[in-house]
Amino acid sequence: MIRSSMAKRALILDEFLPYRLSFTSNLVSEAVAGAYMALFDLRIPEWRVIAVAAEHDGISQQEIGLATRMDKVTVSRAAIALTARGLLLKRPHPGDKRSHRLSLSAAGRALYAQVAPKALELEERIFAALPEGELDAFVATLRKIDAVVLRWDEDALTAPTAPAD
């Protein structure tokens, strides 16, 4: 099960995959977050809530949390900030008074109409250097990794490997 080139490999941080992944993700996140903030005064969680609300009108906060894997607290704060800015509407959920149905206000839709193309442009600029096939393969790999790690969330992660000492 251990592939030959990987067996007994020395640990070098620079070649350690979780590290490389975190490294790149941080770089990209900082760039993107900075742009959103500078251009639209939106934090990442707020931007995500807007995007999801635009895609699924009337979605609940819990559903946003599930979809984006953001903590419900994070979603709550983003939703509060956005409604305070008049970008998001919280309407009562028919049949459940604890919940609301979120949708973009006219101002929210207007903002989204500006943000979305800018986001795609940003993405394009970052990944334009990569041939298309490489990009697709990259995303496919990301999703495979997701699947592996998500499957662990049920198991205890550390249990099967007793501390070596």
Interhelix angle 17-40/106-127, rounded to 10 degrees, is 140
Q: Taking CB under 8 A as the rule, does residue 164 contact a second copy? A: yes
Q: Taking CB under 8 A as the rule, does residue 84 contact a second copy? A: no
Q: Taking CB under 8 A as the rule, does residue 23 contact a second copy? A: yes
Of 71-79, 80-88, 90-98, 143-151: span binding a second copy (CB under 8 A): 143-151
How buried is residue 51: exposed, middle or buried, by Cβ count under 10 Å (0-12/13-18/19+)? middle
The amino acid that residue 123 corresponds to is E
Q: Taking CB under 8 A as the rule, does residue 121 contact a second copy? A: yes
With CB cut-offs between 5 and 8 Å by kind, which of DNA, a second copy, none does residue 79 bind?
DNA
Full DSSP string of the chain? ---TTTTT----GGG-HHHHHHHHHHHHHHHHHHHHHHHH---HHHHHHHHHHHHSTTB-HHHHHHHHT--HHHHHHHHHHHHHTTSEEEEEETTEEEEEEEEE-HHHHHHHHHHHHHHHHHHHHHHTTS-HHHHHHHHHHHHHHHHHHHHHTTS-SSTTS----
- Closest contact distance (angstroms) between CB of 125 and DNA is 21
Q: Taking CB under 8 A as the rule, does residue 119 contact a second copy? A: yes
With CB cut-offs between 5 and 8 Å by kind, which of a second copy, DNA, none does residue 81 bind?
none
State which of residues 47, 49, 54, 60 lies at the interface with DNA (CB under 7 A).
Answer: 60
**51-80 positions binding a second copy, by CB under 8 A:** 51-52, 55, 67-69
With CB cut-offs between 5 and 8 Å by kind, which of DNA, a second copy, none does residue 72 bind?
DNA
Q: Taking CB under 8 A as the rule, does residue 85 contact a second copy? A: no
Interface residues toward DNA, by CB under 7 A? 26, 43-45, 60-62, 70-77, 79-80, 90, 93, 95-100
